[in-house]
């Protein structure tokens, strides 16, 4: 499986299985947001960014979402961004309803074709979350719910660094 992935993503996946990622560039991706607008990975350069792959049918994803909201609200004023990428199999109406009823304050994207999940390492397990530094490099990859205390310390450290 790793041989079919872009080299940087394969290295990150392999490293992530062992100890997290170590400064691999994030794959170039186009995110289609719920309002129909598009953003790319490049648009997040200059910001510390959390990219969360999730689904409305994933109980862990739903359970961790209030923590992701709290994380975003805590760090957004300092240049922190979040994009929650709904998996291909998640019905768009469910995603819209979830985002609206829970008033998600960050960007929510639909991955209707599965291209984004594929580009980020053939993501199949949710939640899978990546933390990017201001240069767009993957600093950490979490499969399952992150330790939010540890995540907050890492975000704080990354935000303290200059772009």
Task: Determine how β-strand 38-40 pairs with β-strand 80-86.
Answer: unpaired
Q: Token pair of 50, please?
A: 């959390």
Domain encompassing residue 99: 2-160
pTM of the full structure: 0.86
Whole-number Å distance between alpha carbons of 122 and 116: 9
Mean pLDDT on 58-87: 97
CATH of the domain at 128: 3.40.30.10
Q: What's the pLDDT tens digit per position in 93-133?
A: 999 999 999 999 999 999 999 999 999 999 999 999 999 99
Structurally, the chain folds into a number of domains equal to: 1
Residue 21 corresponds to which tokens in the numbers above? Answer: 């990622």
């Amino acid at each position: 499986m790793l041989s079919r992935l872009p080299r940087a993503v394969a290295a990150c996946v392999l490293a992530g299985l062992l100890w997290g990622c170590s400064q691999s560039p994030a794959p170039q991706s186009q995110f289609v947001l719920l309002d129909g607008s598009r953003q790319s990975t490049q648009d997040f350069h200059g910001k510390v960014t959390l990219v969360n792959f999730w689904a409305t049918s994933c109980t862990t994803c739903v359970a961790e979402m209030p923590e992701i909201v709290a994380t975003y609200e805590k760090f957004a004023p300092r240049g922190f961004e979040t994009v929650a990428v709904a998996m291909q199999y998640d019905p768009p109406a469910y995603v819209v309803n979830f985002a609206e009823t829970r008033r998600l304050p960050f960007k929510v994207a639909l991955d209707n074709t599965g291209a984004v999940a594929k580009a980020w390492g053939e993501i199949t397990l949710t939640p899978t979350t990546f933390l990017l530094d201001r240069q767009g490099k993957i600093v950490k990859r979490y499969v399952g719910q992150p330790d939010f205390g540890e995540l907050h310390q890492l975000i704080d450290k990354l935000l303290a660094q200059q772009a």
